[in-house]
Structure 1
Amino acid sequence: MSALPPPDDKLSDDGLDSLFASLNRASGIVAAVSGGPDSMALMHLLARWRARSDKPPVLVATIDHGLRPEAADEAAFVAREAAALGLSHRIMVWTGDKPSTGIQEAAREARYRLLVAYARKEGASHLVTAHTLDDQAETVMMRLSRGSGLSGLAGMRPETDRQGICHARPLLDWPKSRLLDLCHGQGWPFVVDPSNASEDYARVRWRRLMPLLAEEGLTAERLARLAERAAQADAALDLTARKALACAAPVLAEGGLSFRGGILADEPFEIALRVLELALAQAGLDLDNSRLNRLESCTVRLREAVRAGEGLRLTIAGALVRLGHSGQVFIAPEPPRRRGR
């Protein structure tokens, strides 16, 4: 857990060094700044950190999703504030057709696609966002409501790989109120996005419920602690599953991946589940988190077939999974379906 800085008028060098320690090794840093208080605080803190000594370059990026008429003015506001801090700034616009449903998810995917592409273009190794403790708590509750597994309940990680770019969230254990107080105390201007108050979006509805949950003891801090513990357990199980798959003698060939299927029956169900998921990933067929139920169903069927000594064919996430009578599992891309079948 990173340490909160001293009072607003005494932000220490040590506090900033501790907060951004993981960024020292970066070749360059893209900071995603929308103009809200969280991201504006992040931008100012990064500017102070970088100004003190020889630090990696910081490039500020704002995404105009084209969903609100005010968005262009907000991006221009961030550009002016970044320039006043001596930081480079880039505005990127999400163009093309917008979906009629799932707009926030689509906007999120577009945002990260643009940010990662920009980081690559500029030779930056790190992308930094201003996700907070409150964001983490909301994420955990939303995933809990969808029946997510342990990996989902681990919430957002302090660092995530995005196609070779390290996505860092240095403010993940800071409450939003702390950043808002910091903006007010330091005189850092920010904008207010009206969509953050629209109950058309699930995250906003969950945000409205959080004070009621906190009254019963389910505070943002406790939800974040749950995520941290889930992440620790998830990492331990993932390591065990990787060792189990390695013991199953996996062979990666041009046509796909094969391994001894007995491992699926010998290991506890959670490990077998992860072995199958890892095998799919190694075969180049990453499984979307939303397909957890399908992965569980396939694991159950494979375990039963292994124990019965039977063959089995099934498909999942664009993959054909075949269990031979010898007990060997083969995973390969599902062949194209013929028209009319």
Structure 2
Amino acid sequence: MTDQADTLRSELRARLPDRLPPRLGVAVSGGGDSVALLHLLHDITQTEQTRLFAATVNHGLRPEAAAEADQVAELATRLGIAHETLLWQGWDGAGNLQDQARQARYRLLTDWARRNDIPAIALGHTADDQAETVLMRLGRAAGVSGLSGMPDARDQNGVTLLRPMLGITRQDLRDYLSGLGEGWIEDPSNHDQKFDRIKAREALTGLGALGISAQSLARVAENLAQAREALARYTQESARKCATVDGGDVYIDRNSFGLLPMEIQRRLVVGIIAWIAGQGYPPRGTAVDQAATAVREGQTLTLAGCLLIPHKDKMWFCRELNAVATETAAPQEVWDDRWVLTGPRAAGAEIRALGQAGLPQVPEWRALGKPRQALLSSPAVWSGQNLLAAPLADYSNGWSVDFAPHRAEFYSSLLSH
């Protein structure tokens, strides 16, 4: 048991940053993978200057969820780890349940981390999860990025998400917990054949005769991840030559764009959209191909909350007005998850999109040389129906606008999406 535990700790530590942050979060559902992660990280952080914090997301979808979260809280208390249960509320029943729950889970976890000054969260994904992801993406005819699976680390909402167990199998973790005499919770949805991931899990069990296992597919993903990194760096170099940031928008030279390899064109489109609209699941391949074609041919297009606008020999990427039309925030609060506006005290001031009503109130906006639609979605300061300021439209009136601290600079963001 000692040798197995040492091996698991060594494998896990090798995938973590060389220097752990002073405060590290860990997401614990109560399942075998995350419970093992909690124990292993507890052991590792005993000899490092790092304090561990745990969080459990209760999606409220099963009556047992609250009691399961309490079990995790009891385990964390036993290990001397601070724990918080995060409750998902407000789902209206629209959209794909699994996708909505996944997005909510990451949003709740990253909000919790930022609230508690925790720069990174460890997640319990295993080699089996990676293999299942690769199989599902094979079914969707994914390219290099898709088949490289889940990355060891990525940024989301200003928090680094770490997956240090992608080289460890689910069975090894359960054997480790059994050796500790530690139990875990089995989620009944892990056997529900209506979910694609469970179908992939079942399919994987029948591929052993071909030498295809969770570990071999996880290694394939790692190999492709190296190719993905090389392509990302090529994309970044290409962006520096043909893409320009203007406020919160990006415009690219269409002629230079057309000379890039198709794969780099697609990656640049995805990277720009992710920077403007926020990190999330990227548009499907067909939609990205349509966007690349629109850039080359100078066609207007709406995609994933962004608007592509041809303007002379340039293509502008900007926020779509409909995506922010109902967004509001107080001064000094984050608006559209990327802007913070500060300025003189004004009664009833709030941040809203400049919009159709605001643009006519901005003197000389045409002198900026930007497409009209790009300015409509920019942040502005309002008091009722009175426009007080629109800093990105060169109408500041003492107000300034800055990117939210968690938003990366554009060119560096191309290495992280």
Q: How high is the TM-score relative to the length of structure 1?
A: 0.85
Report the equivalent of 2:257: 264
- 1:206-249 CA distance string (max 9 Å, x none): 1111111232332212211221122111111121122112112x
2:135 is the counterpart of 1:150: no
SS in structure 1 opposite 2:155?
A: strand
SS in structure 1 opposite 2:17?
A: helix
Bigger relative contact order, structure 1 or 2 (CA pairs below 8 A, ≥6 apart): 1
2:315 is the counterpart of 1:329: yes
Counterpart selection for 2:244 from 238, 244, 251: 251
- 1:194-216 CA distance string (max 9 Å, x none): 12111122211211111112323
SS in structure 1 opposite 2:283?
A: helix
2:228 is the counterpart of 1:239: no
Cα separation, 1, equivalents of 2:249 and 2:223: 35
Report the equivalent of 2:42: 47
> RMSD over aligned Cα, in angstroms?
2.7
Amino acid in the other structure paired with 1:121:
R
- Please report how far the alpha carbon of residue 271 of structure 1 lies from its aligned counterpart in structure 2 after TM superposition: 1.5
SS in structure 1 opposite 2:221?
A: helix
- Please report how far the alpha carbon of residue 107 of structure 1 lies from its aligned counterpart in structure 2 after TM superposition: 1.3
- Please report how far the alpha carbon of residue 329 of structure 1 lies from its aligned counterpart in structure 2 after TM superposition: 2.4
Report matched runs for 1:44-123 at 5 Å: 44-51=39-46, 53-97=47-91, 99=93, 102-123=96-117
Of 92-101 and 156-165, the range deviating more from structure 2:
92-101
Pair 149,85 (structure 1): closer, same or farther in 2 beyond 3 Å: same
SS in structure 1 opposite 2:99?
A: helix
Is the contact made by 1:257 and 1:282 (CA closer than 8 Å) also made in structure 2? no
SS in structure 1 opposite 2:256?
A: helix
Report the equivalent of 2:201: 207
Report the equivalent of 2:23: 28
Cα separation, 2, equivalents of 1:102 and 1:38: 25
SS in structure 2 opposite 1:320?
A: strand
Q: Point out the structure with the larger helix share.
A: 1
Report the equivalent of 1:316: 303
- 1:90-141 CA distance string (max 9 Å, x none): 1122122352652222111111111111111111111111110000001111
- Please report how far the alpha carbon of residue 19 of structure 1 lies from its aligned counterpart in structure 2 after TM superposition: 4.1
Cα separation, 1, equivalents of 2:311 and 2:95: 42
Pair 30,23 (structure 1): closer, same or farther in 2 beyond 3 Å: farther
Counterpart selection for 1:132 from 123, 126, 129: 126
Report the equivalent of 1:7: 3
Pair 108,300 (structure 1): closer, same or farther in 2 beyond 3 Å: same
Pair 176,284 (structure 1): closer, same or farther in 2 beyond 3 Å: closer
- Please report how far the alpha carbon of residue 156 of structure 1 lies from its aligned counterpart in structure 2 after TM superposition: 0.6
Cα separation, 1, equivalents of 2:267 and 2:198: 33
Cα separation, 2, equivalents of 1:17 and 1:207: 23
Q: Unaligned 5+ residue runs, structure 1?
A: 306-310
Aligned length: 324
Cα separation, 1, equivalents of 2:8 and 2:128: 26
Cα separation, 2, equivalents of 1:182 and 1:255: 49
SS in structure 2 opposite 1:11?
A: helix
Is the contact made by 1:116 and 1:165 (CA closer than 8 Å) also made in structure 2? yes
Q: How high is the TM-score relative to the length of structure 2?
A: 0.71
Runs of 4+ in 1 over 6 A off after TM superposition: none
Report the equivalent of 2:397: none
Is the contact made by 1:33 and 1:40 (CA closer than 8 Å) also made in structure 2? yes
Cα separation, 2, equivalents of 1:238 and 1:283: 18
Is the contact made by 1:242 and 1:278 (CA closer than 8 Å) also made in structure 2? no
SS in structure 2 opposite 1:7?
A: helix
- Please report how far the alpha carbon of residue 333 of structure 1 lies from its aligned counterpart in structure 2 after TM superposition: 3.2
- 1:141-185 CA distance string (max 9 Å, x none): 112212323212111111111111111111111011100110111
Of 127-136 and 78-87, the range deviating more from structure 2:
78-87
Is the contact made by 1:27 and 1:57 (CA closer than 8 Å) also made in structure 2? yes
Amino acid in the other structure paired with 1:35:
G
Q: Unaligned 5+ residue runs, structure 2?
A: 326-354, 356-417
Of 282-291 and 185-194, the range deviating more from structure 2:
282-291
Pair 187,157 (structure 1): closer, same or farther in 2 beyond 3 Å: same
Amino acid in the other structure paired with 1:295:
V
SS in structure 1 opposite 2:230?
A: helix
Pair 65,302 (structure 1): closer, same or farther in 2 beyond 3 Å: closer
Is the contact made by 1:214 and 1:220 (CA closer than 8 Å) also made in structure 2? no
Is the contact made by 1:119 and 1:127 (CA closer than 8 Å) also made in structure 2? yes
Is the contact made by 1:24 and 1:55 (CA closer than 8 Å) also made in structure 2? no
Of 124-133 and 106-115, the range deviating more from structure 2:
106-115
SS in structure 2 opposite 1:330?
A: strand
Cα separation, 1, equivalents of 2:237 and 2:256: 11
Cα separation, 1, equivalents of 2:196 and 2:255: 42
Report the equivalent of 1:299: 292
Of 329-338 and 111-120, the range deviating more from structure 2:
329-338
- Please report how far the alpha carbon of residue 20 of structure 1 lies from its aligned counterpart in structure 2 after TM superposition: 6.5
- The percent identity for this pair of structures is 32
Of 259-268 and 283-292, the range deviating more from structure 2:
283-292
SS in structure 2 opposite 1:91?
A: strand
Counterpart selection for 2:211 from 214, 217, 221: 217
Report the equivalent of 1:273: 266
Of 132-141 and 96-105, the range deviating more from structure 2:
96-105
Of 226-235 and 274-283, the range deviating more from structure 2:
274-283
Pair 119,280 (structure 1): closer, same or farther in 2 beyond 3 Å: closer
